[in-house]
Amino acid sequence: MLNRLPEFLYNFSPTPLDPDFLLVRNIWRRAEILTEFKAQVTIFTEVTVGDGERPEDIATAFYNNPFYAFTVLVANDIVDVYSQWPRSITQLQEYINQKYENPQATKHHITTEVKDAKNNIIVEAGKVVASNYQVSYYNGTTTVTATPVVSVSYEQHEFEENAKKSRIQLIKPSLIEDFVEQYFKLLSKGRLELVGTAASDINMQ
């Protein structure tokens, strides 16, 4: 896929009068293309990554082609598989044990749901709050004060974040061939020239 990216000259020299250009691939083009495709929400379907499944496993299962693993990453804007792809349960537990001295310690507190007598939601669940958070509300006949707070450990937080990563978007199998064809066409379009030394200096032409 990298071979299909357009090339541009990047100036590695900090001195304008003494340029040092190198021909490189335009990796920023990928983000621009993703924005175009994300607007077409009807081409995506949501799936949940199974324990230990890799992008090539997903591609093989859904498209019968492990090469399409790159579309799994592109569709979910994943550029770093190590940090952005969901870890297996074993990998996650090892990661947590290495990262935290006490994984069971409290990271933060969140709310539990509170409803009044008419079933109106007073407090939504999952909002990060202080440990002493309280809410008072009229419950039909009297004013009630509640402390709808529970603690979340570092371990619990990491498992919840990993679960979020497990919910991914895939190009529908019936559209994958067209997607790949159009993706590589767009990938090859355009030319970038760098007139400075930072990514912010890149201008599309």
Q: Which amino acid is at 109?
A: H
| Structural domain includes residue 173 | yes
Domain shared by 163 and 131, yes or no: no
Domain shared by 18 and 75, yes or no: yes
Domain shared by 87 and 55, yes or no: yes
Q: Decide: pTM greater than 0.85.
A: no
Domain shared by 126 and 199, yes or no: no
Domain shared by 91 and 13, yes or no: yes
What is the spatial distance between Cα 186 and Cα 30, in angstroms, rounded to a whole number?
9
Residues in contact with 125: Cβ distance below 8 Å, sequence separation at least 6, in sequence order: 110, 111, 112, 113
- Per the DSSP assignment, residues forming a β-bridge with 25 are 7
| Structural domain includes residue 107 | no
Q: Domain range holding 117?
A: 113-147
Domain shared by 127 and 74, yes or no: no
Domain shared by 122 and 78, yes or no: no
| Structural domain includes residue 174 | yes
| Residue 23: how many other CB atoms lie within 10 Å | 8
Domain shared by 91 and 189, yes or no: yes
The tens place of each residue's pLDDT in the chain, 205 residues long, gives 545 444 444 444 455 554 544 444 444 455 555 666 666 667 889 999 999 999 999 999 999 999 999 899 988 988 889 999 999 999 999 999 999 999 999 999 999 999 998 999 999 999 999 999 999 999 888 999 999 999 999 999 999 999 999 999 999 999 899 888 877 777 666 544 333 333 333 333 3
| Structural domain includes residue 153 | no
| Structural domain includes residue 171 | yes
